[in-house]
């Protein structure tokens, strides 16, 4: 079993809104993702999808996106992105939307084939309207709390030896740094990998930290940064 990651699919089946408005490299990007996915991912693999799955605005509008996702091999794990307005507030409602083999994490954890997974949307470290660092703003406080809930749930349901994998949508630190209130939690819980997305420009890709820090390896997996090919994160998990 291998573990893959790719985020920010921004699917537009339900809305007709596609990403090619942001550049020709996005043209028919879902077909490129689909082809690369089918070439690489096996049925028993795990694919991590940290946010911005669909442009759908309501939960009853995302069926086509999930039909597309269910047609692809592997077990899929979603976390919420800043554009996932379709994501319902009720966990029961959320689970009712998910096809077989698709899982979603919010305020809780998941253990899949013995692999422990935690996740959170995370917070934007900058107040864009003011252009100033927002190290203590309400969204960051909320998202830190939700990450701790995910960690707490993992401790309730998992007693194995594998280190957890963390999914964030936003980078868990601001550009140009590699630590934050989030990274300290990941280190404390013994995470081995943290994947994140959200970033869509080469300037951001060059500035964001990727690599190992205090035992945690961070990887950017927004689909355009990966040339629309899922990233092999962990090979041959026992």
Virtual torsion, Cα 145, 119, 197, 84, nearest 10 deg:
-80
- 141: closest CA among 124, 162, 159? 124
CATH of the structural domain 3-234, one choice from 3.40.630.30, 3.40.309.10, 3.20.20.70, 3.60.21.10: 3.60.21.10
Q: What digits encode the pLDDT tens for the residues 209-221?
A: 999 999 999 999 9
| Mean of all residue pLDDT scores within the chain | 92
So what's the pLDDT on residue 126? 59
Tokens of 184: 């300290």
Q: pLDDT higher for 164 or 135? A: 164
Q: Is the pLDDT of residue 22 over 70?
A: yes
In the chain, where the domains are located: 3-234
Contact residues for 155 (Cβ-Cβ < 8 A; gap 6+): none
Per DSSP, 225 falls in state: T
Q: Is the pLDDT of residue 151 over 50?
A: yes
What digits encode the pLDDT tens for the residues 166-196? 999 999 998 999 999 999 999 999 999 999 9
- Single pTM value for the model: 0.94
């Amino acid at each position: 079993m291998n573990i893959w990651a790719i985020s920010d699919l921004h699917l537009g089946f339900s809305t007709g809104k596609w990403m090619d408005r942001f550049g020709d490299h996005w043209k028919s990007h879902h077909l490129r993702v689909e082809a690369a996915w089918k070439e690489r991912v096996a049925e028993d693999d795990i694919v991590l999808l940290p946010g911005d799955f669909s442009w759908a605005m309501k939960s009853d509008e995302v069926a086509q996106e999930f039909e597309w996702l269910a047609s692809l091999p592997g077990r899929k794990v979603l976390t919420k992105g800043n554009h996932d307005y379709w994501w319902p507030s009720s966990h029961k409602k959320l689970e009712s939307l998910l096809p077989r083999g698709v899982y979603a994490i919010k305020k809780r954890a998941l253990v899949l084939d013995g692999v422990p997974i935690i996740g959170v949307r995370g917070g934007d470290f900058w107040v864009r309207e003011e252009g100033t660092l927002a190290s203590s703003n309400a969204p960051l406080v909320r998202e830190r709390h939700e990450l701790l809930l995910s960690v707490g749930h993992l401790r309730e349901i998992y007693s194995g030896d594998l280190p957890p994998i963390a999914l964030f949508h936003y980078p868990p630190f601001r550009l140009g740094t590699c630590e934050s209130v989030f990274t300290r939690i990941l280190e404390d819980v013994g995470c081995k990998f943290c994947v994140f997305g959200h970033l869509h420009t080469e300037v951001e890709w060059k500035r964001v930290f990727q690599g190992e820090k205090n035992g945690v390896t961070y990887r950017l997996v927004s689909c355009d940064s990966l040339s629309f090919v899922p990233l092999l994160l962990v090979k041959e998990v026992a």
